[in-house]
Amino acid sequence: MSNLQLEYTRDEILATDRIDEPLVLAGVRCHGGYLDGRYVNPRTRFRKPAIEAWRQHHTETFGTDILHAPLDTWPGSYPNVAQTKFLLREGIREPVIANLTRIGTVEGFGAMLGMMAVPDMQRFFVEDIRGTALDHLEKGLLEAHGRDEGGWAEEAGHQHMWYVVRDLAFESPPVEDQTSLMMERLGGTGGSSADADARRERFLADRMFDDLDASLEMLLAMSARVLFIECKAFHVFRWAQEVLSDADLVAGEGKPAELVGCILSDERPHVGYAEIALTEARDRTFVGLSGKRYPGSDVVGALWDRGLATSLGVLEDQNRAFVLSEIERALAKHPRRGAILEEFHSLGDQRPGSGTTETPPGVPVGY
Ligand SMILES: [Fe+2]
Ligand SMILES: [Fe+2]
Protein backbone atom coordinates (compact mmCIF):
# COMPACT_ATOMS: atom_id res chain seq x y z
CA MET A 1 0.00 0.00 0.00
CA SER A 2 1.40 3.40 -0.93
CA ASN A 3 2.11 6.03 1.65
CA LEU A 4 -0.41 8.61 0.40
CA GLN A 5 -1.62 11.75 2.12
CA LEU A 6 -5.40 11.27 2.24
CA GLU A 7 -6.46 13.80 4.88
CA TYR A 8 -6.53 17.55 4.15
CA THR A 9 -7.86 20.54 6.04
CA ARG A 10 -10.42 22.88 4.52
CA ASP A 11 -7.77 25.60 4.29
CA GLU A 12 -5.49 23.26 2.39
CA ILE A 13 -8.20 22.32 -0.10
CA LEU A 14 -8.84 26.04 -0.69
CA ALA A 15 -5.16 27.01 -0.97
CA THR A 16 -3.73 28.38 -4.22
CA ASP A 17 -0.19 27.63 -5.33
CA ARG A 18 2.39 30.40 -5.45
CA ILE A 19 2.09 32.80 -8.40
CA ASP A 20 4.39 35.63 -9.43
CA GLU A 21 1.88 37.42 -11.63
CA PRO A 22 -1.89 37.71 -11.20
CA LEU A 23 -4.21 37.08 -14.14
CA VAL A 24 -5.64 40.47 -15.08
CA LEU A 25 -7.48 41.02 -18.36
CA ALA A 26 -9.49 44.03 -19.47
CA GLY A 27 -8.94 45.45 -15.99
CA VAL A 28 -10.57 42.43 -14.35
CA ARG A 29 -8.60 40.54 -11.72
CA CYS A 30 -9.33 36.90 -12.45
CA HIS A 31 -8.49 33.95 -10.22
CA GLY A 32 -5.30 31.97 -10.66
CA GLY A 33 -2.20 33.58 -12.12
CA TYR A 34 1.18 32.85 -13.64
CA LEU A 35 4.39 31.35 -12.29
CA ASP A 36 7.36 31.56 -14.65
CA GLY A 37 4.91 32.29 -17.45
CA ARG A 38 2.81 29.18 -16.83
CA TYR A 39 -0.84 29.44 -15.83
CA VAL A 40 -1.53 28.32 -12.25
CA ASN A 41 -5.10 27.18 -11.46
CA PRO A 42 -6.79 28.64 -8.38
CA ARG A 43 -7.08 26.54 -5.21
CA THR A 44 -5.19 23.52 -6.48
CA ARG A 45 -2.06 23.53 -4.34
CA PHE A 46 -3.37 20.52 -2.39
CA ARG A 47 -6.57 19.78 -4.30
CA LYS A 48 -4.79 18.31 -7.32
CA PRO A 49 -2.49 15.93 -5.40
CA ALA A 50 -5.40 15.10 -3.07
CA ILE A 51 -7.60 13.98 -5.96
CA GLU A 52 -4.76 11.89 -7.36
CA ALA A 53 -4.13 10.32 -3.93
CA TRP A 54 -7.83 9.46 -3.38
CA ARG A 55 -8.06 7.91 -6.84
CA GLN A 56 -4.95 5.84 -6.31
CA HIS A 57 -6.03 4.80 -2.83
CA HIS A 58 -9.44 3.72 -4.08
CA THR A 59 -7.95 1.64 -6.86
CA GLU A 60 -5.53 -0.02 -4.44
CA THR A 61 -8.23 -0.68 -1.85
CA PHE A 62 -11.24 -1.65 -3.96
CA GLY A 63 -9.67 -2.67 -7.24
CA THR A 64 -12.66 -1.28 -9.15
CA ASP A 65 -12.78 1.09 -12.11
CA ILE A 66 -13.29 4.75 -11.39
CA LEU A 67 -16.50 6.15 -12.86
CA HIS A 68 -15.83 8.05 -16.03
CA ALA A 69 -17.96 9.65 -18.71
CA PRO A 70 -16.03 9.74 -22.01
CA LEU A 71 -16.21 12.96 -23.99
CA ASP A 72 -17.68 11.25 -27.05
CA THR A 73 -20.74 10.37 -24.97
CA TRP A 74 -22.01 13.81 -26.04
CA PRO A 75 -22.44 15.26 -29.50
CA GLY A 76 -20.15 18.14 -30.41
CA SER A 77 -20.99 21.73 -29.71
CA TYR A 78 -24.09 23.27 -31.26
CA PRO A 79 -23.63 25.43 -33.21
CA ASN A 80 -20.38 23.93 -34.51
CA VAL A 81 -17.32 25.97 -35.48
CA ALA A 82 -18.26 26.20 -39.18
CA GLN A 83 -21.79 27.38 -38.37
CA THR A 84 -20.47 29.97 -35.93
CA LYS A 85 -17.84 31.31 -38.31
CA PHE A 86 -20.49 31.51 -41.04
CA LEU A 87 -22.70 33.65 -38.79
CA LEU A 88 -19.78 35.92 -37.90
CA ARG A 89 -18.77 36.33 -41.54
CA GLU A 90 -22.37 37.36 -42.25
CA GLY A 91 -22.03 40.00 -39.53
CA ILE A 92 -24.49 38.19 -37.25
CA ARG A 93 -22.73 38.46 -33.90
CA GLU A 94 -25.58 38.62 -31.42
CA PRO A 95 -26.22 34.85 -31.12
CA VAL A 96 -22.52 34.19 -30.53
CA ILE A 97 -22.37 36.96 -27.95
CA ALA A 98 -25.52 35.58 -26.31
CA ASN A 99 -23.97 32.11 -26.24
CA LEU A 100 -20.88 33.40 -24.43
CA THR A 101 -23.10 35.26 -21.96
CA ARG A 102 -25.09 32.09 -21.40
CA ILE A 103 -21.97 30.01 -20.77
CA GLY A 104 -20.81 32.56 -18.20
CA THR A 105 -24.23 32.67 -16.57
CA VAL A 106 -24.43 28.89 -16.31
CA GLU A 107 -20.90 28.81 -14.87
CA GLY A 108 -22.10 31.31 -12.28
CA PHE A 109 -24.82 28.91 -11.13
CA GLY A 110 -21.95 26.70 -9.91
CA ALA A 111 -21.42 29.15 -7.03
CA MET A 112 -24.29 27.43 -5.22
CA LEU A 113 -22.31 24.18 -4.94
CA GLY A 114 -20.66 25.43 -1.78
CA MET A 115 -24.08 25.53 -0.13
CA MET A 116 -24.91 21.93 -1.01
CA ALA A 117 -22.40 20.33 1.32
CA VAL A 118 -23.87 17.86 3.81
CA PRO A 119 -22.15 17.55 7.19
CA ASP A 120 -20.97 14.24 8.63
CA MET A 121 -21.23 12.07 5.55
CA GLN A 122 -20.04 9.06 7.57
CA ARG A 123 -23.53 8.59 9.07
CA PHE A 124 -24.88 7.62 5.63
CA PHE A 125 -22.41 4.79 5.02
CA VAL A 126 -21.68 1.44 6.63
CA GLU A 127 -17.99 1.46 5.68
CA ASP A 128 -15.36 3.93 6.82
CA ILE A 129 -15.10 7.01 4.59
CA ARG A 130 -12.04 8.61 6.16
CA GLY A 131 -9.40 9.62 3.66
CA THR A 132 -11.83 9.92 0.72
CA ALA A 133 -13.08 12.66 -1.60
CA LEU A 134 -16.56 11.82 -0.29
CA ASP A 135 -15.48 12.86 3.20
CA HIS A 136 -13.85 16.05 1.86
CA LEU A 137 -16.89 17.28 -0.08
CA GLU A 138 -17.87 19.42 2.90
CA LYS A 139 -14.24 20.00 3.86
CA GLY A 140 -13.50 22.37 1.03
CA LEU A 141 -14.11 20.48 -2.23
CA LEU A 142 -17.58 21.88 -2.94
CA GLU A 143 -16.56 25.30 -1.64
CA ALA A 144 -13.48 25.37 -3.91
CA HIS A 145 -15.60 24.36 -6.89
CA GLY A 146 -18.21 27.03 -6.14
CA ARG A 147 -15.52 29.70 -5.82
CA ASP A 148 -13.90 28.62 -9.09
CA GLU A 149 -17.19 29.07 -10.91
CA GLY A 150 -18.75 32.08 -9.24
CA GLY A 151 -15.63 33.96 -8.08
CA TRP A 152 -14.47 34.79 -4.61
CA ALA A 153 -13.54 38.02 -2.82
CA GLU A 154 -11.72 40.31 -5.28
CA GLU A 155 -11.12 37.60 -7.85
CA ALA A 156 -13.44 36.89 -10.75
CA GLY A 157 -14.38 33.25 -11.32
CA HIS A 158 -15.50 31.54 -14.50
CA GLN A 159 -18.78 33.46 -14.71
CA HIS A 160 -17.09 36.83 -15.11
CA MET A 161 -14.10 35.40 -16.91
CA TRP A 162 -16.48 34.37 -19.73
CA TYR A 163 -17.87 37.89 -19.77
CA VAL A 164 -14.28 39.14 -20.15
CA VAL A 165 -13.79 36.65 -23.01
CA ARG A 166 -16.93 38.00 -24.69
CA ASP A 167 -16.05 41.65 -24.13
CA LEU A 168 -12.52 41.26 -25.48
CA ALA A 169 -13.64 39.23 -28.50
CA PHE A 170 -16.55 41.49 -29.42
CA GLU A 171 -15.23 44.80 -28.09
CA SER A 172 -17.62 45.24 -25.19
CA PRO A 173 -20.92 44.66 -26.97
CA PRO A 174 -24.00 46.24 -25.42
CA VAL A 175 -25.19 43.47 -23.10
CA GLU A 176 -26.14 45.47 -20.03
CA ASP A 177 -29.21 43.45 -19.17
CA GLN A 178 -28.32 40.16 -20.76
CA THR A 179 -27.42 38.34 -17.60
CA SER A 180 -30.77 38.97 -15.95
CA LEU A 181 -32.59 38.37 -19.23
CA MET A 182 -30.69 35.14 -19.60
CA MET A 183 -31.68 34.09 -16.10
CA GLU A 184 -35.28 34.73 -17.01
CA ARG A 185 -35.10 32.83 -20.28
CA LEU A 186 -33.29 29.98 -18.55
CA GLY A 187 -36.11 29.65 -16.08
CA GLY A 188 -34.97 31.74 -13.14
CA THR A 189 -32.78 29.01 -11.69
CA GLY A 190 -30.41 31.46 -10.08
CA GLY A 191 -28.60 31.67 -6.80
CA SER A 192 -31.14 33.52 -4.61
CA SER A 193 -32.58 31.69 -1.61
CA ALA A 194 -36.03 31.71 -3.27
CA ASP A 195 -34.48 30.00 -6.29
CA ALA A 196 -32.71 27.52 -4.02
CA ASP A 197 -36.01 26.74 -2.26
CA ALA A 198 -37.80 26.30 -5.58
CA ARG A 199 -35.01 24.02 -6.78
CA ARG A 200 -35.27 21.92 -3.64
CA GLU A 201 -39.06 21.69 -3.93
CA ARG A 202 -38.81 20.45 -7.49
CA PHE A 203 -36.12 17.99 -6.49
CA LEU A 204 -38.15 16.63 -3.57
CA ALA A 205 -41.09 16.01 -5.86
CA ASP A 206 -38.92 13.79 -8.02
CA ARG A 207 -36.76 11.82 -5.60
CA MET A 208 -35.56 8.32 -6.39
CA PHE A 209 -34.79 7.08 -2.85
CA ASP A 210 -37.36 8.04 -0.22
CA ASP A 211 -35.44 6.22 2.51
CA LEU A 212 -32.23 8.19 1.96
CA ASP A 213 -31.53 11.56 3.55
CA ALA A 214 -32.94 14.11 1.07
CA SER A 215 -29.90 16.40 1.22
CA LEU A 216 -27.60 13.46 0.56
CA GLU A 217 -29.62 12.33 -2.47
CA MET A 218 -29.75 15.89 -3.74
CA LEU A 219 -25.98 16.28 -3.34
CA LEU A 220 -25.18 13.02 -5.14
CA ALA A 221 -27.71 13.65 -7.92
CA MET A 222 -26.29 17.14 -8.36
CA SER A 223 -22.72 15.81 -8.36
CA ALA A 224 -23.56 13.45 -11.21
CA ARG A 225 -25.32 16.18 -13.16
CA VAL A 226 -22.56 18.71 -12.61
CA LEU A 227 -20.02 16.09 -13.66
CA PHE A 228 -21.89 15.66 -16.95
CA ILE A 229 -22.10 19.42 -17.45
CA GLU A 230 -18.33 19.61 -16.85
CA CYS A 231 -17.61 16.83 -19.34
CA LYS A 232 -19.84 18.32 -21.98
CA ALA A 233 -18.25 21.70 -21.35
CA PHE A 234 -15.00 20.46 -22.86
CA HIS A 235 -16.76 20.36 -26.25
CA VAL A 236 -18.08 23.88 -25.73
CA PHE A 237 -14.71 25.23 -24.60
CA ARG A 238 -12.93 23.73 -27.60
CA TRP A 239 -15.55 25.33 -29.84
CA ALA A 240 -14.89 28.67 -28.13
CA GLN A 241 -11.11 28.31 -28.42
CA GLU A 242 -11.32 27.59 -32.13
CA VAL A 243 -13.78 30.36 -32.94
CA LEU A 244 -12.10 32.96 -30.75
CA SER A 245 -8.60 32.33 -32.07
CA ASP A 246 -9.68 33.40 -35.58
CA ALA A 247 -8.26 36.92 -35.71
CA ASP A 248 -10.19 37.69 -38.91
CA LEU A 249 -13.51 37.25 -37.13
CA VAL A 250 -12.99 38.34 -33.54
CA ALA A 251 -10.97 41.00 -31.72
CA GLY A 252 -8.71 40.63 -28.71
CA GLU A 253 -5.53 39.40 -30.41
CA GLY A 254 -5.86 35.84 -29.20
CA LYS A 255 -6.44 36.84 -25.55
CA PRO A 256 -10.05 35.53 -25.47
CA ALA A 257 -8.97 32.05 -26.61
CA GLU A 258 -6.07 32.12 -24.14
CA LEU A 259 -8.47 32.91 -21.30
CA VAL A 260 -10.77 30.07 -22.37
CA GLY A 261 -7.70 27.81 -22.15
CA CYS A 262 -7.19 28.90 -18.52
CA ILE A 263 -10.85 28.22 -17.69
CA LEU A 264 -10.65 24.84 -19.41
CA SER A 265 -7.68 23.76 -17.33
CA ASP A 266 -9.45 24.92 -14.13
CA GLU A 267 -12.26 22.46 -14.93
CA ARG A 268 -10.14 19.30 -14.70
CA PRO A 269 -10.18 19.06 -10.89
CA HIS A 270 -13.99 19.49 -10.98
CA VAL A 271 -14.30 16.35 -13.08
CA GLY A 272 -11.59 14.62 -11.04
CA TYR A 273 -13.16 14.97 -7.60
CA ALA A 274 -16.73 14.29 -8.76
CA GLU A 275 -15.68 11.06 -10.48
CA ILE A 276 -13.83 9.74 -7.44
CA ALA A 277 -16.44 10.83 -4.86
CA LEU A 278 -19.24 9.11 -6.81
CA THR A 279 -17.04 6.03 -7.22
CA GLU A 280 -16.32 5.89 -3.47
CA ALA A 281 -20.07 6.08 -2.78
CA ARG A 282 -20.82 3.43 -5.42
CA ASP A 283 -18.43 0.96 -3.80
CA ARG A 284 -19.86 1.37 -0.31
CA THR A 285 -23.16 0.55 1.42
CA PHE A 286 -25.72 3.28 2.15
CA VAL A 287 -27.69 3.38 5.39
CA GLY A 288 -31.27 4.56 4.91
CA LEU A 289 -33.30 6.65 7.35
CA SER A 290 -35.06 3.43 8.43
CA GLY A 291 -31.71 1.74 9.06
CA LYS A 292 -32.12 -0.41 5.96
CA ARG A 293 -28.97 -0.91 3.87
CA TYR A 294 -28.62 -0.31 0.14
CA PRO A 295 -25.77 -1.28 -2.16
CA GLY A 296 -24.01 1.88 -3.34
CA SER A 297 -24.01 0.56 -6.88
CA ASP A 298 -27.84 0.64 -6.88
CA VAL A 299 -28.01 4.21 -5.57
CA VAL A 300 -25.18 5.77 -7.56
CA GLY A 301 -26.05 3.70 -10.63
CA ALA A 302 -29.61 5.01 -10.68
CA LEU A 303 -28.59 8.64 -10.09
CA TRP A 304 -25.85 8.36 -12.72
CA ASP A 305 -28.20 6.86 -15.33
CA ARG A 306 -30.88 9.46 -14.75
CA GLY A 307 -28.39 12.33 -14.77
CA LEU A 308 -26.88 11.08 -18.00
CA ALA A 309 -30.28 10.65 -19.65
CA THR A 310 -31.15 14.23 -18.66
CA SER A 311 -27.85 15.53 -19.97
CA LEU A 312 -28.16 13.75 -23.31
CA GLY A 313 -31.89 14.35 -23.63
CA VAL A 314 -33.63 17.38 -22.26
CA LEU A 315 -30.51 19.51 -21.76
CA GLU A 316 -29.28 18.90 -25.32
CA ASP A 317 -32.72 19.76 -26.68
CA GLN A 318 -32.90 22.84 -24.51
CA ASN A 319 -29.45 24.04 -25.61
CA ARG A 320 -30.22 23.65 -29.29
CA ALA A 321 -33.60 25.34 -28.92
CA PHE A 322 -31.94 28.24 -27.09
CA VAL A 323 -29.24 28.66 -29.72
CA LEU A 324 -31.73 28.56 -32.56
CA SER A 325 -34.09 31.01 -30.88
CA GLU A 326 -31.21 33.47 -30.45
CA ILE A 327 -30.32 33.13 -34.14
CA GLU A 328 -33.93 33.59 -35.20
CA ARG A 329 -34.18 36.62 -32.95
CA ALA A 330 -31.06 38.14 -34.55
CA LEU A 331 -32.35 37.42 -38.06
CA ALA A 332 -35.93 38.59 -37.46
CA LYS A 333 -35.61 41.67 -39.69
CA HIS A 334 -32.79 40.43 -41.91
CA PRO A 335 -33.60 40.62 -45.66
CA ARG A 336 -31.88 37.26 -46.31
CA ARG A 337 -33.28 35.54 -43.25
CA GLY A 338 -34.38 32.32 -45.00
CA ALA A 339 -31.18 31.83 -47.01
CA ILE A 340 -28.93 32.44 -44.01
CA LEU A 341 -30.89 29.99 -41.87
CA GLU A 342 -30.74 27.37 -44.60
CA GLU A 343 -26.98 27.78 -45.00
CA PHE A 344 -26.57 27.69 -41.21
CA HIS A 345 -28.44 24.37 -40.99
CA SER A 346 -26.59 22.87 -43.95
CA LEU A 347 -23.27 23.42 -42.14
CA GLY A 348 -24.52 21.67 -39.00
CA ASP A 349 -24.09 18.11 -37.78
CA GLN A 350 -27.37 18.28 -35.88
CA ARG A 351 -30.66 20.04 -36.50
CA PRO A 352 -32.82 20.97 -33.50
CA GLY A 353 -35.95 18.85 -33.29
CA SER A 354 -39.09 19.48 -31.33
CA GLY A 355 -37.81 18.06 -28.04
CA THR A 356 -39.17 19.19 -24.71
CA THR A 357 -37.51 22.17 -23.12
CA GLU A 358 -38.93 21.66 -19.67
CA THR A 359 -36.32 22.23 -16.98
CA PRO A 360 -35.56 18.99 -15.12
CA PRO A 361 -35.94 18.96 -11.34
CA GLY A 362 -33.37 20.56 -9.11
CA VAL A 363 -30.86 21.47 -11.76
CA PRO A 364 -29.98 24.58 -13.65
CA VAL A 365 -29.84 24.13 -17.39
CA GLY A 366 -26.47 23.09 -18.74
CA TYR A 367 -24.24 24.39 -21.48
FE1 LIG B 1 -16.27 26.46 -14.80
FE1 LIG C 1 -16.38 23.57 -13.53
SS3 label, residue 310: helix
pLDDT exceeds 60 at position 23 = yes
Q: How far is the CA of 234 from the centre of ligand 2 (A)?
A: 10
pLDDT exceeds 80 at position 114 = yes
Mean pLDDT of the 33-61 span: 97
* Ligand number, closest to the Cα atom of 227: 2
Quote the pLDDT of residue 183: 59
Q: How far is the CA of 48 from the centre of ligand 2 (A)?
A: 14
- 195-228 pLDDT, tens digit per residue, is 677 777 888 888 999 999 999 999 999 999 999 9
- For the chain, give the longest Cα–Cα distance: 70
d(CA 220, CA 80): 32
pLDDT exceeds 50 at position 362 = no
Q: How far is the CA of 342 from the centre of ligand 2 (A)?
A: 34
Quote the pLDDT of residue 180: 66
Whole-prediction pTM value?
A: 0.91
Q: How far is the CA of 150 from the centre of ligand 2 (A)?
A: 10
DSSP-assigned beta bridge partners for residue 25: 28
Give the confidence band of 361 by pLDDT, cuts at 50, 70, 90.
very low
Q: How far is the CA of 152 from the centre of ligand 1 (A)?
A: 13
Mean pLDDT of the 315-334 span: 91
d(CA 56, CA 36): 30
Q: Kindly list the protein residues that place their beta carbon closer than 5 angstroms to ligand 2, a single-atom ion.
A: 230, 267, 270
- 120-141 pLDDT, tens digit per residue, is 999 999 999 999 999 999 999 9
Q: How far is the CA of 285 from the centre of ligand 2 (A)?
A: 28
d(CA 81, CA 89): 12
Q: Kindly list the protein residues that place their beta carbon closer than 5 angstroms to ligand 1, a single-atom ion.
A: 107, 149, 158
Per-residue DSSP letter, 124: G
* Ligand number, closest to the Cα atom of 144: 2
